[in-house]
Structure 1
Amino acid sequence: MPSTSNTSPITPAGLAALRARYDHLLGTERPEIVEIVSWAAGNGDRSENGDYLYGRKRMREIDRELGYLAKVMKHAQVVDPVRQPDKTRIFFGATVTIADEDDLQRTVTIVGDKEQDAGTGRIGWSSPIARALRGAGVGDLRTVRLPAGQKGWEVLAIAYPDEDSVTARGADD
């Protein structure tokens, strides 16, 4: 699990997605914009040249994102949930089914903060729910402190990906 404040946990799939975005920006988008800016610069007055102005702006945005992605990848600590030794407790990479006091069920997967997406049930390692659930087992009750107040959750199920599902998913991608 994450050991220092200098590192940020991430799943292997999350790191692969960051790497793919970085490679796309550096190998495809940036060269296209450089070509447009070079062409536009050769057209004369740059102060009223929309292609040139937009291209320079977009190049700055790409360079900023490349810097951000490089920093995130540098500090990423890949934690493979398949290798989790204790699959009876909630740790990084667990997919957890929980129920609140009204018996409303929710399934979430605990992932790195840089790969979270609440809309798809992927919650960040540092989120209030993930912090409250860490180390819990099936049947445990946990209280989550949320901005709207405290909410209780019961752990109904814990699952981790297995080697076969990761291999099959990799073949489908």
Structure 2
Amino acid sequence: MVDKVPMTQGGFVNLQEELRWRQQEERPRIIEAIAEARAHGDLSENAEYHAAKEAQSHNEGRIAELEDLIARAEVIDLSKMSGSKIKFGAKVKLVDEDTEEEKTYQIVGDQEADVKAGRISISSPIARALIGKEVGDSIEVNAPGGSKAYEILAIHWG
């Protein structure tokens, strides 16, 4: 059985765009760099050649990873999401019970997570603590810096 990878439409489009870029732009650029480095002669001590081969290996590995993720993608339409319980795609407004600092996070797929942009992975400790909770509930999260307590202020969809 193949495990589906949940993601938003935006995350899916970003993966497709990265795959297109790696296949149509980066791959030819690397092939050209390898050919150019080969023309310089002795490959055993040719740093440019080895660097280009390493870049090729990295790029091809990422292409395979992207193809796998896209094949297993389960794109979730956030415009159809609703309800009072937190689940994938929800934007959740929290308040830190110690500092009174408010934060808003959207729960997204692993590949789309970007804490600085307010997007947290569905598999992160804070998202796992939030799933199934409602406005007014409190959660406790064991973060790297110690335990943090949050109260859920609001849930938004879309």
TM over 0.5: yes
The 2-side partners of 1:150 and 1:57 are apart by 41
Aligned match of 2:11:
14
The 1-side partners of 2:22 and 2:137 are apart by 45
Aligned match of 1:171:
none
Count of aligned positions: 157
* Partners of 2:82 and 2:157 within 8 A in 1: no
1:99 to 95, 100, 105: 95
Corresponding position: 1:34 with 2:31:
yes
Paired AA for residue 123 in structure 1: I
Paired AA for residue 100 in structure 1: D
1:38 and 1:104, CA in 2 relative to 1: closer, same or farther beyond 3 A? same
Q: Cα offset for 1:110?
A: 0.6
1:70-149 matches, cutoff 5 A: 70-86=67-83, 88-102=84-98, 103-149=100-146
Paired AA for residue 27 in structure 2: R
Deviation beyond 6 Å, 4+ runs, structure 1: none
Unmatched 5+ residue regions in structure 2?
none
The 1-side partners of 2:57 and 2:140 are apart by 44
RMSD: 2.0
SS in 1 for 2:44: helix
Paired AA for residue 129 in structure 1: I
The 2-side partners of 1:118 and 1:143 are apart by 18
The 1-side partners of 2:89 and 2:52 are apart by 40
